[in-house]
Structure 1
Amino acid sequence: MPKPRKQIISLDITPYYHCTSRCVRRAFLCGQDSHTGQSYEHRRGWIEERLLLLGQVFAIDICAYAIMSNHYHLVLHVDTAAASQWSNREVCERWHQLYRGTLLTRKYLDKEPLSDLEMEAVEHRLGLWRQRLSNISWFMRTLNEAIARAANKEDNCTGRFWESRFTAQALLDEKALTACMVYVDLNPIRAKTATTPETSKHTSVKLRIDAVKTGQQSTQPSTLLPFGGNFREPKSKGLPYQLADYLALVDWTGHSIRADKKGFISDTFPPILARLDIAPTHWLYLATRFESRLKGLVGSIYALKKATDQLGYQRTPGVRACQLLFS
């Protein structure tokens, strides 16, 4: 039986999470509806635009994403340190980018005089918003609610648009994070809607490749968590490897899972795979079955047992799969 999100999302064990939302309707979220012939392709742009906006407003970084025909995948990093450093005014400005706020918070932003009692109410409200702006559930709610309203308006109907709130997997270590990001970035290739990473529309890997091609100053898009951090140093900001290594790994994996090369494994795999100490056969299995084979908590046996102890689980979920794939 799946664990509730509140028993999986714990920033004490990891700041990295894989989240997925699926559409409840028979009709596609995006793409072409084979029954009616109507195209919903433009909705991918809605989701991508809203997602990248939220990544700039929340204290939550976007590591990877892929927007598919009836669902989307995200790999998120919660940066609670950033939220704690924001001033009250910055918290208020960020929240008002998404919601109207209250009469008092609007007066606060406009620098209108407030009584002591009114200021106390504003500070209480801002404390609540500060927590919400580093909360994955609120991030997903703010994303899904906006898309559901827009889709319902376009379809001239009411009712549920998403199958459920969202599903979540905790990524406990560098191996799990890397495998999940590649799994997400290669979703269009596995679904045969793209042939290469650079043609995979509405994915984080295409956004990163486009930034490299256009020669941006940092060669990394500002809307995504950059590469170059250190997983073993909690204060280190960024993904724990280099961009070039990651793109090489995505490209190698994508070629290895092509339909015309089923079971093919190159003799020369990227150095990053060797550093992660994952066998190529296990890696390809992870890159194609990450979501179906692994549930809830994902990582090495050591990380898995440490997390289950912290969460107070009586059993260690997914221990056999993690032992096989990450040992």
Structure 2
Amino acid sequence: MPTPRSKQLCLQATPYYHCVSRCVRRAFLCGQDRVSNKSYEHRRAWIEKRLLFLSKVFCIKICAYAVMSNHCHLVVHIDENAARELTDLEVVQRWHHVYQGTLITQQFERENKVEDYLVATLKHTISVYRNRLFDLSWFMRSLNEPIARMANAEDECTGRFWEGRFVSQALLDDSALAACMAYVDLNPLRSGMVDTPEQSEFTSIRRRVQSLLQRKDANPLMPFRDQREPGLASVVPFNFKDYLELVDLTGKAMRANDVNIIDNNLPRILSRLNISSSNWFRLTRKFEVYFKGAIGNCESLTHFCNLQNRVRRLNINVSKKYFR
């Protein structure tokens, strides 16, 4: 029986989550269908465009993403405080970027007021919208539903395009976050689609490298610690150059199937995270195979389970093996 979403998410424990949406019925997001000989490559752009748009509307930032042939990986940061700090008008304006809203919220956006007898209804609606702006299920729904409709229209069919539920995993500490981000960024290289991480189209690592080379300041992805801007509270807790070096070395090790490449040029970030190079190599190759559910070291898992009144600590033996 699937784990209820309420048991998968715990913002008191962590704001970081790994999400995966997969296609059904042999549906494609990209690539060449060997049966019909039809290319679906353009659908990857649909996902990326929609994803980056939603990250500006919701109080959910994108740390990493990779759009693959029949599934999509995301690593997100949920910022509840940012949603709480929005004014009522800002909440309504953001929501109307994605959904139509109600006649009352439309009037409020136009005139910044409503009749007295509608105020209570308006306040309740805004409260619902505010909670949805940091709700991971609503974010994924807003991402997946339009893509499904567009794909069904193109395929001239009806029915499901995505699996009924997206997979979500809580990333409970920096080690879990770094391993998951690298796993996502290296997905195309690991699949043999490219030779280097920066060649991976429709991935966060490519977008970040291009932004760095072109010196673009307006990057819709969540910034790293050394890219912090004044007044910015939430950042990825690593330096981007350290992370980039780590991903590059890991990619070279994967292509050569030789962990010694990482050993001989041990990045500082691995020492800080206290992960051995051999364990890191295994994690970035089979992250989803090793972990089902929340991910982190033993202390983080214990804290997560205590917050949710769980007796059993899932992944505890794997955590002991890979996270010191």
The code of the aligned residue for 1:297 comes to A
Partner of 1:318: 315
Displacement of 1:236 after TM fit?
A: 4.4
Counterpart position of 1:256: 253
**2:126 maps to which residue?**
126
Secondary structure class of the residue paired with 1:159: coil
Give 1:263 shift. 3.1
Aligned residues of 1:198 and 1:205 also touching (Cα < 8 A) = yes
1:294 corresponds to: 291
* TM-score (normalizing by structure 2): 0.95
Aligned residues: 318
Residue pairs, 1:230-241, within 5 angstroms: 236-241=233-238
Name the counterpart of 1:20: 20
Q: Distance in 2 between the 1:272 and 1:236 partners?
A: 22
Shift of 1:222: 2.6
Cα drift, residue 156 of structure 1: 1.2
Q: Find the aligned partners of 1:119 and 1:39 in 2 and give their Cα distance.
A: 51
What do you get for the CA RMSD once the two structures are aligned?
1.5
**Counterpart selection for 1:265 from 260, 266, 272:** 260
**How far off is 1:122 after superposition?**
1.4
Alpha-carbon deviations, 1:238-279, whole Å to 9, x = none? 011111001000000001111xx1234221121111111100
Q: 1:174 to 1:229 in 2, by over 3 A?
A: farther
Compute the displacement of 1:119 (Å): 2.2
| Separation (CA, whole Å) in 2 of partners of 1:113 and 1:125 | 14
Matched, 1:285 2:245: no
Is it true that 1:36 corresponds to 2:36 in the alignment?
A: yes
Residue type at the aligned position of 2:121 = A
Aligned residue for 2:260, secondary structure, equals coil
What is the letter of the counterpart of residue 135 of structure 2?
A: N
Unpaired runs of 5+ in structure 1?
none
Cα offset for 1:10? 1.0
Deviation at residue 113 of structure 1 after TM alignment: 5.8
Conserved 8 A contact 1:200-1:206 = yes
Specify the alignment match of 1:4 in structure 2. 4
Correspondence for 2:202:
202
Unaligned runs of 5+ in 2: none
1:154 aligns with 2:149: no
Secondary structure, aligned partner of 2:160: coil
Supply the AA of the counterpart residue of 1:241.
F
Q: Give 1:215's aligned amino acid.
A: R
Cα offset, 1:316, TM superposition: 0.7
Give the TM-score normalised by structure 1. 0.94
1:141–1:165: 8 Å Cα contact kept in structure 2? no
Instruction: Report the Cα distance in structure 2 between the residues aligned to 1:225 and 1:113, rounded to whole angstroms.
Output: 34
> SS of 2:73's equivalent?
strand
